[in-house]
Amino acid sequence: MRATTVLAFAAVTVPAFDVAAGDVRHSDIPVSYVGRWAPDAQGCGDKDKDKGKSAIVLSAKAYQSAEANCVVEWVTETASPRGPVYSAHLLCVSPSAPGQRTPVNLIIRPEGADGQISAGSDFDSLKTYQRCSAN
């Protein structure tokens, strides 16, 4: 009888734990990723010039690019062999449609070299970025 009770309890509680139980939810983009990022040094130029349009800017509560200005709703951290992978859930406004807010996901993961990340809306569209200097 006791074994039946234990098995019944296990059957009810075990399915409540899913594979993503190791994920951690944050309210901000991690401090280590805050800053201006570009595909190369030329992309770190002034935002108003053509060479700066490929840059992205990450802050604790925002993501900014030439295509959109976004606020961070939440960020999910998932462990991986290459380091933590972050999925930022954003609410974005495009300059072409200023009154319309669109939900967007942004994946951010570290790259092999220091000061480099990959970022994109999904794993197939990740682009490598380097940190721009603070100047």
pLDDT tens sequence across 45-98? 765 555 457 899 999 999 999 889 999 999 999 998 888 999 999 999 988 777
pLDDT confidence of residue 10 = 42
61: three-class secondary structure by DSSP: coil
Q: How large is the average pLDDT for residues 13-24?
A: 55
pLDDT in tens, 94-124: 887 778 899 999 999 998 767 899 999 999 9
- Assign 110 to helix, strand or coil: strand
Please tell me the predicted confidence (pLDDT) of residue 81: 87
128/54 Cα distance (integer angstroms): 11
CA dihedral 47, 120, 60, 26 (to 10 degrees): 180
Q: How far apart are CA 130 and CA 115, in angstroms?
A: 6
H or E stretch covering 131: strand 127-131
- Of the CA atoms within 13 Å of residue 67, those in its CB half-sphere come to 7
Say what the pLDDT of residue 135 is. 56
- Round the CA-based radius of gyration of the chain to a whole number and report it: 20
Is the pLDDT at 28 greater than 80? The verdict is yes
The pTM for the full model equals 0.76
Domain ranges of the chain: 20-131
DSSP element (H, E) containing 111: none
pLDDT of residue 52: 54
